[in-house]
Amino acid sequence: MKIYISADMEGISGVVGLGHVSPGDKEYERFRKLMTREVNAVVEAAVQCGAKQVLINDSHNTMDNILIEELHPKAVLISGSPKPMSMMEGIDESFDAVFFVGYHARAGSAPAIMDHTYTGRVFCVEVNGKKLSEAGLNARIAGCFNVPVALVTGDQLTIECAKQELNDFVGVIVKEAVGRYAAKIYPFEVVEEKLKAGVEEAMRRLKEFKPTVEREPVEVKLTFYSSAFAETASLLPNVERLDARTIRYTAKNYLEAYRLLRVCLSLSSLAK
């Protein structure tokens, strides 16, 4: 049994503020330890349920948050950025399932903790007319390799978004958001039990889950918060600017669409 984990940080159980997830902030070192501990709890539960290999892709910000010296001994870590497949680096058809740990809701969700989609510059990402969060976007990458998403963890809005965007999976609510920077949080022992139960259910039902596969061709519509971001992204060939803040393009398959999305986001970062 081979499990792939993409681990973000905003959806980790104790995280509620920007300082918790921002490298260089006085609180960040404390919360990367909490992230490592939560990921380890998921790995341990997966191993106890029969996983022989676990690959973790650190998927937050600079993607080097998880502490290798404290990592579960049965796991392998992909750390650092940029990576060709970003939050899904290392995924291939050899995996039995994908777990999204510490994920967050898509931009525009409320009262979700720090809702956004890949970057704070983006207001909305639509794929073939459907609004997607990072869970939805990344699940479709797994789908390109015929691998299902079996587990998603985060606040309640994270799970709600994922249910709208993915095929069936096990959702674990590790905290209850009450605002963008506020949540009802629980002692780690409580969270650990919830994670353990979620992993056990996901592993038990593994054969029930189906990959989330996007139909082709793939139309992507990307709406930014600023017209300046759309202006720079629209410089790419075959990218159409629909209005001041929105661009659109069509790709022959999802992997191509995803790579072009990443390029658009990178170009938008050049605008002031």
Query: Structural domain tally of the chain?
Result: 2
**Is 72 known to be catalytic?**
no
In a domain, 210, yes or no: no
What is the mean pLDDT for each group of 10 consecutive residues in the chain (272 residues)?
98 97 97 98 98 98 98 98 97 98 97 96 97 98 98 98 98 98 98 98 98 98 97 95 98 98 94 82
Under 8 Å between Cβ of 234 and 58: no
Spatial CA neighbour of 144 closest among 254, 220, 258, 262: 254
Domain that holds residue 226: 218-269
- Do both 95 and 226 map to the same domain? no
- Do both 179 and 263 map to the same domain? no
Of 205, 236, 251, the one marking the end of a domain is 205
Cα-trace Rg, the chain: 18
What does pTM read for this prediction?
0.97
- Do both 195 and 225 map to the same domain? no
- Do both 223 and 113 map to the same domain? no
Binding residues for Zn(2+): 8, 10, 60, 104, 134
Q: Report the CATH number that the domain containing residue 100 is assigned in CATH.
A: 3.40.50.10780
- Do both 162 and 263 map to the same domain? no
- Do both 169 and 241 map to the same domain? no
Instruction: Count other C-beta atoms under 10 Å from residue 269's C-beta.
Output: 12
Provide the pLDDT for residue 187.
97
CA–CA gap between residue 202 and residue 72 (Å, rounded): 20
- Do both 225 and 184 map to the same domain? no
- Do both 170 and 91 map to the same domain? yes
| Set 116, 121, 140, 245: catalytic member | 116
Integer CA distances (angstroms), 209 to 9, 81, 146, 204, in order: 25, 30, 11, 11
- Do both 228 and 201 map to the same domain? no
Provide the pLDDT for residue 272.
76
Provide the pLDDT for residue 131.
98
